[in-house]
Amino acid sequence: MLLNFYRLDYAQVGTTTRGCLRVIRHEQEEKKKSKSKGAGDKVIVGGQNGILLCIERKGGDTNIVFKTPPGQPITFVRLGGALQTIQDKTFIASGAQVKGFSRKGKQFLSFESNMTEAINSMYIYGVDMFLCGRNTFYHFHDCIEKSYYVCADRINDVLCLPVIEGGWVGRGITPVVACDDKTLKILDSGRLVYEVRLGDTPNTLHLFMNDGGYNRQKVLYGTKSGRLGLVDLQTSTGAILWEISTKSSSGVSAINCYRITDNSIPDIIIGKDDGLVEIYTVNENDEATFRQQYQCDESITGLDCGRVNSEQYDEIILCTYTGWVFSLTTQPMTEQNDVGTNLPPNMEIRVQQLRSELEELEMKVREERERYQDMAQNQEDTFSIVPPFAINDRFELSKEFACYALSIELVIPIDYIVLQSDVSVELIDVERNSAVVAITTPEQSSGNALLATYRCQADTTRIEMRIRSIEGQFGTLRVYISPRMHPKMCQVGFLVLY
């Protein structure tokens, strides 16, 4: 029996990156001690504007627990704390600095790593901190550097296997690094113990069953081409237990294990770059079977599970590149509406005041836009300066379709995209692409082999394209991206076709 999921929006923050969202879970003992009846899990998210936001749900409303001032972009968020206790402390990576915040938002740590590059991935295990840049790995114990390792290729993610105590089966700190060279590298005190070669590039890592499984050494990995696998990392060698294809070839950006179905074993839930959320059930042999999926239409950058809106219903908490924080809840819509009808008497007055303020803001924007147009037309010495907009783009070779896969995502709606190429290419239809494609025959003297325009529907922020080139011919593909904004502008990107 498939579950019915209902989307419930919580908040919208700035643009986010992978690993930006976590859920601070409340244990049953803490819920009993809590004075408020609706004490649920808390959601914490870090954005590219440098703001760390912690929110909770009470009475159907989103409340801010704490919010930090803007700063450098937050590249990664992890939860930590003493081992065998509730992981309720938040650690964020911003540039080359790591900051720690308590559950109530009080900063207790500000650590300068002295790394020469920004921190791309991070893992916290007790008092041990694992930081990774583009090619470098650092291990800090109680903020003191213990070891480092330099990889030949880019590092995509890092984690640490749980420590196992014992004379015969004991195992100390064991970091695991996912690299662009299609390997998982197992380290010990800054040296490479061994590596597991995969069939594709690993993009994200997660402990199997959130603790490494029964032997505390199993790790789930998701690849850039949409494959999901499980590897058993033993002391001296590693083995791939299984690797399966998911429902699309888009990269896996987030993995979590949580019992959301009626299965007795926690399920595997993954989020992908194309907005697809997939649920896999696990049997007694640790084998995964596809259960169901949900399409979000935006790139997923964060995924976690818990009970935020209600203590009785499980939720999948998601965060997208554009900054939307929402949940896929199993709570029926009728019960959500019943909660929303129990509003305080002054709620209608507040809603009316917000509507009036919104109308005033719209009026001011309209007046300023008209004033700008008058200045641009009547004054010759004036010129427009529009700040560049953020673009989340990926251009990769798809083995499944034997072509290039180009995805473009903006925070604001896309108006149209123009493709210009100096070599002959073939545009392949994408099922989920709702844009209208118009191909113009270029003049022979122009040096162009392709001129195509993708006109997007209203409120389209993400688009996918597939481009197949002729083998043996190489050239440049220019992409002109124009959003729905005034004054009209576009940004140009250059892509190399091999």
Which listed CATH number (1.20.120, 1.10.8, 2.60.40, 3.90.120) goes with 391-497?
2.60.40
CA distances to 21, 229, 277, 319, 386 from 304, rounded to whole Å, are 7, 19, 12, 9, 37
Q: Residue 229: its pLDDT value, please?
A: 97
Q: Residue 168: its pLDDT value, please?
A: 47
Q: Residue 377: its pLDDT value, please?
A: 75
Contact between residue 265 and residue 216 where contact means Cβ atoms under 8 Å apart: no
Q: Residue 344: its pLDDT value, please?
A: 58
Q: How far apart are CA 172 and CA 223, in angstroms?
A: 27
Contact between residue 173 and residue 139 where contact means Cβ atoms under 8 Å apart: yes
Q: Residue 316: its pLDDT value, please?
A: 96
Q: What would the pLDDT profile of 66-123 be if each residue is shown by its tens digit?
A: 999 999 999 999 999 998 888 999 999 999 999 999 999 999 999 999 888 999 999 9
The tally of CA atoms less than 13 A away on the side-chain side of residue 391 is 20
Q: How far apart are CA 280 and CA 228, in angstroms?
A: 10
In terms of CATH architecture, what is 6-333? Answer: 7 Propeller (2.130)
Contact between residue 313 and residue 329 where contact means Cβ atoms under 8 Å apart: yes
- Residue stretches of the chain with pLDDT short of 70: 27-39, 165-170, 334-347, 382-384
* 449-473 exposure pattern, b = at least 16 Cβ within 10 A, e = fewer: ebbbbbebeeebbbbbbbbebeeee
Q: Where in the chain is the domain with CATH 2.130.10.10?
A: 6-333
Q: Residue 372: its pLDDT value, please?
A: 78
The residue count of the chain comes to 498
One-letter amino acid of 169: V
Q: Residue 59: its pLDDT value, please?
A: 80
State the DSSP code for 338.
H
Q: How far apart are CA 98 and CA 145, in angstroms?
A: 14
DSSP 160-187: EEPPB-STTT-B--EEEEEETTTEEEEE
Q: How far apart are CA 162 and CA 51, in angstroms?
A: 31
What's the sign of the alpha-carbon dihedral 354, 360, 361, 363?
Answer: positive
Q: Residue 127: its pLDDT value, please?
A: 94
Q: How far apart are CA 1 and CA 4, in angstroms?
A: 10
Q: How far apart are CA 38 and CA 310, in angstroms?
A: 7
Residues sharing a CB contact under 8 Å with residue 11, sequence separation 6 or more, in sequence order: 45, 53, 55, 62, 325
State the DSSP code for 382.
-
Q: Where in the chain is the domain with CATH 2.60.40?
A: 391-497
Q: How far apart are CA 299 and CA 248, in angstroms?
A: 13
